[in-house]
Structure formats: C-alpha cells, structure tokens
Amino acid sequence: MEKESKRKPRILCLHGYRESAEILKKLILRWPESVTGKLDLVFLDAPFPAKGKSRLEGFFDPPYFEWFRFNKVFILASFNFNDSIYSKKNTP
C-alpha cells in the first residue's frame, strides 16, 4: 500500500493597513518551525502603494501597501445617510 503524500494546508497571509507581505512574512517566520513547517504560507501585497505614513516606519523599511483607497465623498455621503435614517426613526 502506497503512503499518501500529505499536502500542507495552504494559508493566505494578508498584511494589515499600510504594511506589506514582506513585513508579515518576517513576523510570522518568527513562529516555531514546528508550526510554520507544517503550513504552506502564501504572502500577498495589497494592490495600492500606501499614500500615508505607516505605523511601522522606523521598525520596518518600505514599501508599504493599502488594500483600498478612502474616498472622502463616499465617507461623507455615508455619514449623511446614517444621519437621515436616524432622523426618520427618531423624529416626528
């Protein structure tokens, strides 16, 4: 009977806001080999270069990335939308 080859579980590792795959990889690879050796870790960078300051500056070198872009018009519209629902429910 042939021994089945066991594939390692593949884990998608997504970094935080204004960070990078390389930074996350450095942090996760500090875990014990008994853990990381059993996993197929895949690291991806977010699609957008960071436009603002990263909280990790001074600890890790750039580049830093963002998963989405803020849209001030959309954010303001969202606040107005929430206010209008509140007003409809709570005012005569």
pLDDT digits (tens, 9 = 90+) for 82-92: 566 656 676 66
pLDDT band at 68; cut points 50, 70, 90: confident
Main-chain dihedrals φ then ψ at residue 42, nearest 5 degrees? -120, 125
Compute the average pLDDT of residues 56-80: 79
Asked if pLDDT for residue 1 goes beyond 70, the answer is no
Q: Which of 65, 52, 58, 53 is nearest to 24 (CA)?
A: 65
- The model's pTM is 0.70
pLDDT in tens, 39-62: 999 999 999 999 999 999 999 999
Tokens of 36: 């990381």
Asked if pLDDT for residue 79 goes beyond 70, the answer is no
The DSSP call for residue 68 is S
> 27 by DSSP, 3-state: which?
helix
